[in-house]
Structure 1
């Protein structure tokens, strides 16, 4: 059912016009919610630090996590220390807000959060109410700004800068609101953000918007158990099964296909809670997965399991603009 819905979301099916009136009503509610915060009718929390939101208006993977990792690393080169706040999707802990530490794992704080913590090493606070996470993380004295992982629609959290990411391959689909399409907010919301970032080559015209393109590039293969990085040439010599439990598995498979023309693939739901039994039927010599999936497989990873290490490039001008904006505050 989910795959059928997604196919409807991301194709220009004539049936979408039957759902357009309902989608339009939902978009009005989304506009009204934002307007109430803009007018001050509903209050939001204003941090003592600049808050940068990295989000999207559509569901599914758009590249937010590698973009946040890129932002943190590039800002650090300019001696700007960032902290991260997140909803902590899938977190099993009961007490929020929570500051992630070395005793946590992917099940406790969520897969994306735990991966970001391992990647960046910066303070990360999680809470379903991101404004509460902001209040916690801003108590860390040496931070210069806060990056919100997602939260474009969390208006209870004030912000000074907004990035909206769009997947270049899938675009905005049929441009209808959930549940009739993939959008959390109407397309017009993109006109109000500070920067629209298109991840990959865009197959869809975003008329009237100033966009910047970034690209995902593969760094190499990383052995899950040891953390050792190996060359991608290992793939050509062995049979491979690619495993993905992310929002946009096709992007992962297409990226892998640039380095291995033939492989088996297994798709799980986004944020799937992996267990060892999920891999029982795999007979390939090498298993390759995303880094987000790998952090959940650490406890039972085998010697032939790797994740595909990626990084984002092409955003130097974006960083320059952000730093100038921070200096204004």
Structure 2
């Protein structure tokens, strides 16, 4: 643990997306609780800032109490993050000469800096994302790329680390990114404990797509398939061939295959494989043996899982695990 608190600044403004501030703040606050439990001292000091200070009103009407940028020396900060929000609020921030100057100085001196959601636009307006690969909300990726052609926008990633720069996609992905920041500082065990405390389904890695396979399917599915999507996800280790799925849906195999493909935009086999491999990626970040990962995701042998995994992602499960696991795998 460092002898001095690491100073973290979250920049807000009128029209800010409140979860872009409170989500990361909750992560750093929980990290401090964990640090106090382990060492007797907190690790971070969190500053909620805005250009003028005082109350700012979020885009849902909730007000936040903030300190003024001018009251905090840029060189004192370890981490600087800009929240996203309304188009009008971001435009006002980008046109605020004093705020832009403060951001440039602060980010130049900070150990790391970045944005949550559309906060990337404020950084890009300062020239702080030129030559960087970044993430932002999926609705804004095209606009960000067109407006700032020097920025490489990753339209799928939940969050992206590029050198000292960390950027996240929409809203709740700020929590995922800040958990990764805490893991970098305090270790995976602390970050995992925070995720459990916040009752998150899982810690999501940055490479994961913004577009959930299950959510997208539920959005597109009509009545015969809405419940089936949830059932498939809960029974990935079952035999999920067309015949068995068709029987569950009360259709002939031929009719089921046609209607499912029309509704989902992909065949039943491809859909099932996607869910199985997404689940496998999560399991591979644990200490679960590869044989058990294969069994839980519906592959009879590790070799069959490895073949499908490499075909889809271009790496073997073993290499993926070495890159992303929390600890050593069991034999």
> Which TM-score band (shorter chain)?
under 0.3
Normalising by structure 1, we get a TM-score of: 0.25
- The answer to which structure, 1 or 2, has the higher relative contact order (CA under 8 A, 6+ apart) is 1
Normalising by structure 2, we get a TM-score of: 0.24
- Structure with the bigger percentage of strand: 1
Mark the structure with the bigger radius of gyration.
Answer: 2
- Structure with the bigger percentage of helix: 2
